[in-house]
Each structure stands twice: as C-alpha cells, then as structure tokens.
Amino acid sequence: MLNIYKAKPKTSLLGKTLTFQIDSADYEVQGISQYQQKIAFVSGALPGERVQAKILEDKAGFIKATTIKVLQPSVLRVTAPCHYAAICGGCQLQHLSIQAQRDLKQQGIDQLIRHQTGLSALPWQAMLVDDDHGYRRRARIGIWYDKKQRRVSVGFRQSGDKHIVAIANCMVLSPLLAPIFTVLNKIIPQLKDPAAVTHAEVLQAGEQAFVTLRHTKPLTVDEQQLFIAAWPEAVWLGEAEPSVIHYWQPDVQPHYYLAEQNLRLEFATDAFIQINAELNQKMVTQALNWLNINANDVVLDLYAGIGNFTLALAQQAKTVYGIEGVSKMVQQLATNAQLNGLSNVVAFQADLHLAWPKTSWNKPIYTKVLLDPARAGAVGAIEQITKLKPQQILYVSCNSATFARDAKHLLQSGYRLEKICGVDMFAHTSHLELMASFSRL
C-alpha cells in the first residue's frame, strides 16, 4: 500500500494571546516585535514596553495583534484624555501625549521614506499643527437599533470590530456638531422603523451644521420634522440611495472660506473637503510660500477637487490648469473660479491614473506642478508628470507609503527633495499627512 506524505497544517495563532517585547514602532506608531521567525505589528504598544496582545492576523511572514494588557509601560505612556479611547476606533494614539504622537509619527515616516528612497537624511521643516480638540468639521456617525432590546446606539465603530460604541460626546468633533448625539438618541426611537436609519454624516460648513441621514426605508414628512424640530439650527438632508441626497428644508449651499486668500469655496455635501479647516488654511498658505508663485507661472494642479489649492494659486499665477477625475467636482471648480472672479483657471476632467490624453493641458508648458492625490497616491500619473519637466513639484500626500513610492520615482527622474513637513490633520490618530517640495536638477 502506497503511503503519500502530507505535511501537517501549521497551527494558526489567530485569536491567541501572546506576550511581546516591543523593540520599535512603524510609521503608523504600531509596536514592532518578533515572534519566532515572524515580525509582529502590535497596535497600542510603544517601544520599550512588554505587553500581552491578541493575534488578529497570522500570515506567512508577519502577524498583527492588538494590545490587551500592558505589563511594562513606557515612560511615554499617558492616561487617555477621552474616556472612550479604549473602545472607540476613532483615535488610536491617545495613550501618548500630543507631542509624543507627532514625534513618533514623523520618526516612523522618516525611516520609511529613507528606506524606500535611499536618502540618508530628509530636509524636515516645522510640522503644521493646530488644536488637538474640536478640530473635525466632518464625521460619519454610526447608528444601530437593537430590535430585541429596543435600544439605539449612536457613536463610532469599536476598535477592530463592527459594533457601534455608544458615546455621548466626541472630544475631536467640532463643538458646533456636538448636538448630533443627543438628537439622534432622542428621535430615532420615535420612528416607525428605527432600524431604517443606518448612519448620519455631520458637516460644518462655515458656521452652519449639515446632517445627512442615510435611511434604507422612506421617512415620512412628519418623521423628518421630528429631526428638524430637535435641532432647528442644522440643515437636514436624506440619503435614501447612495449619493442620492435630498434637502428636507430649503437648499442652503455649503461653503467654506480661505480667509487669508479671501476666497469662498462652495461644494456639495458629499464632496471631499479637508477634515480640519485650520490646517487646511495653513497648507494652502504654505503651498503658496513653497512654490513662490509669480505672474509668469503656468501651474498644473492635479487632483484639484473643488479648487482648494487651484484658486489660491490662480491669484498669483498667469494660468492654472485644474485637473480632476470626478466630473461634478470639475464643474464645481469652474463655478468656484467664476464666483471668485478668477478668469485664469482652466478646469478639465481626466482619470489621472490612466494614460493621459493628447490634449491642450497635457503639454510641457508648466513651470510648477501641485498634486494632492488620494491614498493610492499618484500611481500612473507620477511618470507622466515627470515627462512634462516642470521646474518644481509640490506633493501633498495623505499616505506616507504611496508617497515614498512616488518620491523614489521623482528622485530617479532627476528631481531633488528640497523640503518636507508633516501635517497633523488628524490629531490622536496614526495618520500624518505630508507636504514635500521637489525641484529639477
């Protein structure tokens, strides 16, 4: 009888609790350790600590875990300022002081970029920072109605879980938006079908609060009026289908100001805007300073959105071409240029990750380029940017890993990294945005 050898399946570590000695931290301020032949990434753990952590992922070369008990704490560890910090998934770094958060984030990103690019040192500039409380002007509030217990939970998703953590307040949410928790807890149980409302998108535009309710079944006019009466200062909208939004009151156009540039930008409630108004203003002002725009410059603004950078650039440049992939935002960009009396803005729609079309804007006519891509970075676009041979490129990034990849291409294409700085757009989280200026050799 032939016996065929079969290797025994390896025992998975998934769900087990192990003890780790944390040696260092990565660019997201996760603790790094070793377990047998694998690298371990441990959230909630700091360099120098010994912790017990539950295994969430077990892959061939690495494992991911989350801290459940600190056996030997770091001197950097502090008591979280928010009493929801241990369970809410919104803020990951409240066990650190705000300065320690910023230091560790920048140190991890510095190591990541140097490793990817081969640079021995980075020309760091002062980080852009602001208040770490009440800074969010937009948030998605989760809603869960337990039919058996007839109880509603309003808050954010639990760390590492889909369950909603019921909260009464959020320390990083703008004070203008604070009533949302009380209002939803009060009104949702009064609906005919409380489970029909699944989440709320809250937005501060200027000094006006907007609330968009996502509901899977129609809400009657009387039910809509319950929400309006509970918070009459807010503008209420309904989203019965994804991206199909209806005002429950007379339309009010959301907008925000770039006060230093005296610009008003209008936008749709579901359009992208930066989450932190104060730091957005600082980024725009720094972009103008770093690019040193003059009246002869022809500037290309990629991933232009509604014109957040475009309009400010146009105030100083000869011409600015704003390229954006979403057609509705391209139309809004053109409208915003007109509203602000800027006739030197040219708006185009294009998928920048695909091969660029042969068109009037895809020509080597630019002295300077600004790009502000999404988390995927400028994959596909970065190669095409270098073919235009602009003298200066300003890269605004919301993902350090994809920035490092794109920066490597710029360096290999004859550009030098002149300046880089962190932007602490999301205080108390592992996220750090970047601004980097490259010049052609």
Catalytic residues: 398
d(CA 183, CA 176): 13
Q: Which residue's structure tokens are 């079309």?
A: 357
What DSSP character marks residue 194? G
Residue 274: is it exposed, middle or buried by C-beta count within 10 angstroms (0-12/13-18/19+)?
buried
For the beta carbon of residue 146, count every other beta carbon within 10 angstroms.
12
The three-point CA angle 222-217-140 to 5° equals 90
Q: Distance between CA atoms of 211 and 227, rounded to whole angstroms? A: 10
Please name the residue that has the structure tokens 């040696």: 23
Separation of first and last alpha carbons in the chain = 73
C-beta of residue 20 within 8 angstroms of C-beta of residue 48: no
In a 10 Å sphere around its CB, with 0-12 CB exposed, 13-18 middle and 19+ buried, how is residue 420 labelled? buried
- Distance (Å, rounded) from C-alpha 314 to C-alpha 308? 11
Report the distance separating Cα 427 and Cα 411, nearest Å: 30
Three-class SS state of 38: strand
The Cα–Cα gap between 9 and 316 comes to: 65
Q: Which residues pair with 266 in a beta bridge?
A: 255
What's the alpha-carbon Rg for the chain, to the nearest Å? 24
Rounded Cα gap, residues 210 and 246, in angstroms = 12
